[in-house]
Structure 1
Amino acid sequence: MVESTQTELSPARLQVLLLAHPDLDGFLQALAAYLSEHLAPVLGSSAPAGCSLRIVRPRRQPVQVGDGHVHQMPDMAAASVPVPGVEPAIAVLSCFRSRPGPLGAEDVRAVELAAAGIAPALALALRLDGQAHRANNLQAAMESRTVVDLAAGIIMGQNNCSQDRAVEILRSVSNSRNVKIRDVAAGVVAVVTDRVSTHFEE
């Protein structure tokens, strides 16, 4: 039977990992390394047990991160278990050992307990990463809107037209060239900026 003291993860250690690795990939790699270290004696391997984490989230690319070690897979016994409580993401913890032979029920239970132990920290890391992702998207959208508005203003001044008409012109060029409207707008702004800079050069 697996002793609970052997399978309990340190909340303080998980907190330190979160603080030390604000980026998700770095946190996952450090977490996988910690799990490898933690489960090595539990799984009875003379070498560190190998661990990896796979994260699947809606509208995001899947992420898979290991513990940073190179392991020879053919003779390894492995167990993969879901990490609970990270919805809407799906997280899977995979652990293996280099000693031949299948993992027993107690070994699998140890991996399950480890998955449950990392769930709160992983859920928080995913939430923070999601917030950072949304903030980056919002900033990009605001920057895109700003450059489109600037370009529309330039076109309005050059063609004595309304804002709607100026935006239509940008969209038309965007569609005909198969280029994003933001890139078309940036080109318009760049041309005017270059002209202004040249005008004031001595």
Structure 2
Amino acid sequence: MPEPATTELSPVRLQELLLEHPALDGFLTALACDLAGHLAEWDVSDAAITVVRPRRQTVHAGSGPGVSAHGQSAADPASGVLTIGLPVPLAGAGGAVLTVYSEHPGAFGPEAVQAVERAAAETATAVALALRLDAQTHRAENLQAALESRTVVDLAAGIIMAQNNCSQQSAVDILRSVSNSRNVKVRDIAAGVVAVVSDRVSTHFEE
């Protein structure tokens, strides 16, 4: 049995991974690869990290072909599978787990379990930071999409107001009525109105 691992996962290396892989799935994949190498002396062949995010898709990342996209070992489970929860604080329901795989039955004795637990604790802060950055990016993207949607709807309403000599509320009601009758989002209806007018203006200038 090997001696307990003494080499800690470097905080500098974890920071490098965050900078090199701003996307959450890319960061988790790179981290899983590093963890697999870090724990190789404990007969770990592959590692995977699974994150369950509230109201969003679960993210699973593995270190290599030994781990499928669904977090299961490609080899027989009896070959060695150890799953440990990462102490990552998540708002609401959710959580993160580190799963390591070995090709050798019975590889995970008490010392190996302790080594994996240490690795999970050492990476928890970096995972938590990656999740926070991912959440902020998600909110920013949603805000941008909402602003773009509002702009398109306002433009379409202005076009309808000019064409029908009606109020803004009446124009919006027309968009909503068409949206309901066609079962299409208001934004898509508005985008169609703007596109038609844009094509006409473009053709006019071309002539």
Query: Given the two structures, how large is their TM-score scaled by the length of structure 1?
Result: 0.92
Offset, 1:199: 1.4
- Contact conserved, 2:81 with 2:102, CA < 8 A, in 1? yes
- 2:122 pairs with 1:121: no
Offset, 1:5: 1.2
Amino acid in the other structure paired with 1:5? T
Identity %: 61
Residue aligning to 1:86: 89
Residue aligning to 2:103: 98
Offset, 1:102: 5.3
Offset, 1:9: 1.3
Offset, 1:2: 5.6
Greater shift in the superposed pair: 121-130 or 77-86: 77-86
Distance 2:164 2:126 in 1: 57
Distance 1:122 1:186 in 2: 39
> Does the residue aligned with 1:188 lie in a helix, a strand or coil?
helix
- 2:144 pairs with 1:139: yes
Of 72, 75, 78, the residue aligned with 1:73 is 75
Q: Specify whether residues 107 and 4 from structure 1 end up closer, same or farther in structure 2 by C-alpha distance, changes over 3 A only.
A: closer
> Does the residue aligned with 2:6 lie in a helix, a strand or coil?
helix
- Contact conserved, 1:81 with 1:115, CA < 8 A, in 2? yes
- Contact conserved, 2:48 with 2:99, CA < 8 A, in 1? yes
Residue aligning to 1:57: 53
Greater shift in the superposed pair: 131-140 or 65-74: 65-74
Amino acid in the other structure paired with 1:198? T
Give unmatched runs, 5+ long, in structure 2.
Answer: 68-73
> Does the residue aligned with 1:55 lie in a helix, a strand or coil?
strand
- 2:4 pairs with 1:3: yes
Query: Given the two structures, how large is their TM-score scaled by the length of structure 2?
Result: 0.90
- Contact conserved, 2:86 with 2:124, CA < 8 A, in 1? yes
> Does the residue aligned with 1:49 lie in a helix, a strand or coil?
strand
Distance 2:88 2:131 in 1: 11
Alignment root-mean-square deviation, CA: 1.6
Give unmatched runs, 5+ long, in structure 1.
Answer: none
Offset, 1:103: 1.9
Amino acid in the other structure paired with 2:36? S
- Contact conserved, 2:4 with 2:112, CA < 8 A, in 1? no
- Contact conserved, 1:85 with 1:123, CA < 8 A, in 2? yes
Aligned residues: 197
- Contact conserved, 2:46 with 2:64, CA < 8 A, in 1? no
Distance 1:190 1:152 in 2: 13
Amino acid in the other structure paired with 1:193? S
Q: Write out per-residue CA displacement over residues 20-42 of structure 1, whole angstroms, 9 at most, x where no aligned residue.
A: 1111111110000000000011x
